[in-house]
Amino acid sequence: MMEQYVEIKAANPDSLLFYRMGDFYELFFGDAEEASRALGIVLTKRGKHLGEDIPMCGVPVHAADDYLQKLIALGFRVAVCEQVEDPAEARKRGSKSVVKRDVVRLVTPGTITEEKLLAPSESSFLMALGRVKGSGDNAYALAWTEISTGAFKVAETNAERLLSDVLRVDPKELIVADSVFYDEELRPVFDVLGRVANPQPAQLFDSSAAAGRVARFYGVATPDSFGTFSRAELSAISAVIAYVEKTQIAERPPLDLPEREENGATLFIDPATRANLELMRTLSGSRDGSLFKAIDRTVTGGGARLLADRLTAPLTDPGAINRRLDSVSFFRSEARLGEALRASLKGVADMPRALTRLALNRGGPRDLGALRAGFAAAGEIAAQFRSAPLPDELAEAMRAISALPAGFAGHLEEALADELPLLKRDGGFLREGYDGGLDEARGLRDESRKIILGMERDLQDQTGIRSLKIRHNNVLGYYIEVTANHQAAMNGTDELKGRFIHRQTMANAMRFTTTELAGLETKIANAADRALTIELAAFDRLAAEAVEAADAIRAGAQALAVLDVSSALAALAASQDYCRPQVDDSLAFAVEAGRHPVVEQALRRQAAAPFVANDCDLSPEDGARNGAIWLLTGPNMGGKSTFLRQNALIAILAQTGSYVPARSAHVGVVDRLFSRVGASDDLARGRSTFMVEMVETAAILNQAGERSLVILDEIGRGTATFDGLSIAWAAVEYLHEQNRARAIFATHFHEMTALSGKLSRLHNVTMRVKEWEGDVVFLHEVAKGAADRSYGVQVARLAGLPAAVVARAKDVLAQLESGETANKAEKLIDDLPLFSAAVRRETPAVAKADPVADALAAINPDELTPREALEALYRLKGLGR
C-alpha cells in the first residue's frame, strides 16, 4: 500500500494527497505533518520507512468538505485519491493485492464546486495570464472562468495595467507560465498577489497549440466559429481549459463560450484607488463597511454575484448604463411588482452551481431540486410580468426566462419527491407513482421490514425475553441481540434448542441469527438494492437532461439575476432616498446634496446626527473645454476625506447603473478613476509612507486624461514643509495644464489657494467650522472660499493629548504664526523655554500660594447671612487685586 501511495504522491508533488482508506482520507509523511498543523488534528504514526516511523493523520470522508475548506482558505492544493477498483476484483489477483487507487480530482482555490466551499454571494474565478513575445511585440491577455457557474471571459491587457485588471476580477487563483512568473519585470505584480499566483508548466500556455485545444474542448472545428481572438487571448483561454482538464481529470464542466471584454468598455480603477475606496472590502479585509455591503439588497446568490461584477467593473458606454438605469426606474415606479418579484426570487436556488455539480458527477438530489425550485419561481415571475410593458433589459431577461426548458421542468416536478436527501446513494428522492418497478421494490422492502417487526415480537413471546431486539449493521446484516444474562434462555426449551446460530459476543450482549432471518435478509437486501438501482438510473437520466439543457438554464439563471439586481437597486433607492443620475458623454460632474452611502448608513444605525449633504460641481464652465479642479482646504476631522470619497463613489454607482445618494446628479462618463486618500507604507519593498504616496501620485499624473476623475488628499505632507508644498503646487499645475482632468485636491497648504488667481479652472472651497468658547465645531459643510487655519491643536485636544502638551503646542503655534520667528530657529528657542520648564511652571504642585483660593476655601456658604456673604465677596475682590 505504501508503495502505491509513494507512486501516486510522486505524480502530485505540489498537492496534499488525500489517500482513501475505508471511511477516511489518510495523509502520510510531510503531508501529514503539514495537514495536522493546518487543521489542528492529531498526528499519529503507522509503520516504518527507511527505519523511521511514518507520520500519519486522517479526516473522515463524510466530513472531508469542512477540512478541504480550511486547507483551500490557507492556500493549499489537494489531490483526492479514491479507490477505482472493486475490492473483489483486487482479491482475484491474490489475497495480498492492493485495491487500485488513483487521483480523481485536484482541488484548488479556483476550481472548487462544492456548495459548502463556495460563498453564495462571491464569485470564485480561475484566471490565466497569456503572454506572446514577438518581434518588438509583447502582448498580454487575461482569461477567467468560474467553473461553478460556467462564466468565461477574456480581455487583452498590458504590463502597466496588469495588476489593476487582475484585482478588478479578484480571482481565487491566477495560473501563470513558469517563465512569466519568474520574469523580473512582473515580479512586483506577483509579489502583491502572493499565493493567488500559481506557476504552471509553459506547455499549458503554448499559443501554437491553443486553437486546437480550445476547438477540441468545445467540439468545433476551429475557435473562429465563436470569435476571433489574438494569440495572447488564445494562450490564456487554452491555459484555463488545460488547467480545468488537469484538475477535473475525467470530468468536464459545461463552460460558456469565451466572451471578449473590449478595451475601454469598463471604468479603469487602479489598485490603490480600488483599495482605499473600499468597494468590496474594507482596508482590514472585511465585507462589513464596504460599498458593496452598503448597497446589496439582493435576495439570491446569483444576484449578489452579478451586483459585485457590475460594481467592480462599471461601464463607460452611456447607452448601456442608461439601459440598466431604465430597469431600476421601472421597479422604482412599480413598487408592488418589485415586492412580488423579490418574494418569488427568494425561492430561487443557485441553478448554475447546481448544474455544474451535476455535470461533474458531484451532484445530488438537492441539486436537481434546486433546478426544480428555479423553474417554479421562473414560472411565477413570467406570470407576474405577462402584461407589463418592460424596458429593454428586462424584456430581454423575460425572453430568456420564457426559454427555460418547460419539458424538463415538468419532468423534474413529476419525478422528484417533496423532501430530498443530501446524497443520491441514500435513495428516497423519486416521487411515489413515478416508476412502477420502483414502487413494487419499495413495497417489497417496506413489507419485509414489517415482517421483521412481527418476527421480533414472536421471538420475544417464544423466549420470554422482552428486551430481545432484531437489529442491523453493515458488517453482520440483520441479527438478534439479547443481553448476556439471557443467553441461557435462548436455548431454554426443546422447541428453541438449535434454532439460534451464534454470531458475535459483545461485552454486555450476545448476537444470534436464524435461517428464517437470513432468508428474510436476502429478500430485503435484493428489494432495497433493486429500488436503489432504479433510483440511481433515474438520477443519471435527469442529470443528463440537465446538462443537455445547460445553455438555456444558465441563460435563464442570468436573467433571474438581472431581475434581482434591478429590483434590489430600486429597493435601495426607495429606502435610502437615492436619485437617478443623468449619465451622458459630456464632461459634466454636478452633484447636488451628495452623501457618502456607507457613512450615512452607519450614522443612521448609530442613531447619530444625520449626514450633512454637500454639492460638488466639476463641470466645465461656460466656454471652458475641460472640467474644473476644486482645491479643498479646511480642518482635520472636518470631513474632507469623506467628501472626496463620496464623489468618487457616486461616479462608480452611476456607471454601475445604480441610483445615487444625492438630490440630483449629472455625471459625464468617467473613463479612469484615481483616488489617493490616506497614508500607508510598503516596508517589505523598502518604501516609506512618503515614497508610496509619490509612487501613487506619479501613476495618476502619468495616466489621467480629460475624461478622468482624480481625487487627491494631502499630497506632499510626508516630507519637509517647503518640499511638500512645492510638490503639491506643481502637481496641481500639472493636473490643470496637462491632464486637464476633473479633480478634487484636498490640502493643508493654505498658500496654494493663491493658485486660483492663476489657473482658470481652479476653484477654492473649504470645510466650514465655527469656534465657540475656545472649542471648534465641525459643520461638515463645503463652501466657497479658503480656510486660513487647520485647527490641528484643537483636534489634538479632542483626541485626548495631555493638557500640558496642548498648552505648549498653542505657545509654539502663536510664536510661529507671529511671523517674527518663522525663519529664525535660534530666536524661536530663546522665546519658547524648554517644554520641561513650561510644564514645571504650570504644575499645581509647585505653584505659588493663591490667597483668593485660600480665602474662598475657608468660607462656609451655609453659615453666612446675606450681609456676611456680601462682605466676603468684597474681601475676595480686594485679594484678587
The three-point CA angle 659-665-667 to 5° equals 95
Local structure of 178: helix, strand or coil: helix
Q: Is 640 annotated as a binding residue?
A: yes
Written as nine digits, the cell of 353 is 452551481
Q: N- to C-terminal Cα distance for the chain?
A: 102
Q: With residue 654 as reference, give the H or E element that holds it.
A: helix 640-656
492 is in an annotated binding site: no
Residue 683 cell numbers, joined: 516596508
Contacts of 744 (CB under 8 A, 6+ apart): 616, 618, 629, 630, 632, 643, 644, 647, 710, 711, 712
DSSP annotation of 24 reads E
| Phi and psi torsions of 44, nearest 5° | -115, -165
| Residue 150 annotated in ligand binding | no
264 is an annotated ligand-binding site residue: no
- Identify the CA nearest to 509 among candidates 484, 535, 542, 485: 484
Q: How many residues does the chain have?
A: 881
- Closest C-alpha among 696, 700, 600, 591 to residue 650: 591
CA distance 647 to 597: 10
Cell numbers standing for residue 854: 485660600
Under DSSP, the state recorded for 661 is S
Distance, in Å, from the CA atom of 709 to the CA atom of 647, rounded to the nearest integer, reads 9
DSSP assignment, residue 262?
P
Q: Is 702 flagged in the annotation as binding?
A: no
Residue 637, marked binder:
yes
Cβ atoms 399, 507 nearer than 8 A: no
Cβ contact 128:157 at 8 Å? no
- Is 800 annotated as ligand-binding? no
Tell me: is residue 636 an annotated ligand-binding position: yes
Residues 6+ apart with CB under 8 A from 816: 822, 828
Q: Report the distance separating Cα 147 and Cα 140, nearest Å.
A: 23
Rounded CA-CA distance 767/618 in Å is: 17
Cell of 698: 506619479
C-alpha cell at 381: 415571475
Q: How far is CA 507 from CA 273, 400, 469, 512, 746, in A?
A: 70, 65, 17, 15, 81
Other Cβ atoms within 10 Å of 332 Cβ, number: 21
**How is residue 738 annotated by DSSP?**
I
Q: Over the Cα atoms of the chain, what is R_g? A: 37
CB environment 729-745: b (16+ within 10 A), e (fewer)? bebbeebbeebbbbbbb
Please name which of 262, 259, 195, 207 lies closest in space to residue 238, comparing C-alpha atoms.
207
Query: What gap in Å lies between CA 129 and CA 335, rounded to an integer?
Result: 45
Residue ranges at the known binding site: 634-641
Residue ranges at the known binding site for ATP: 634-641
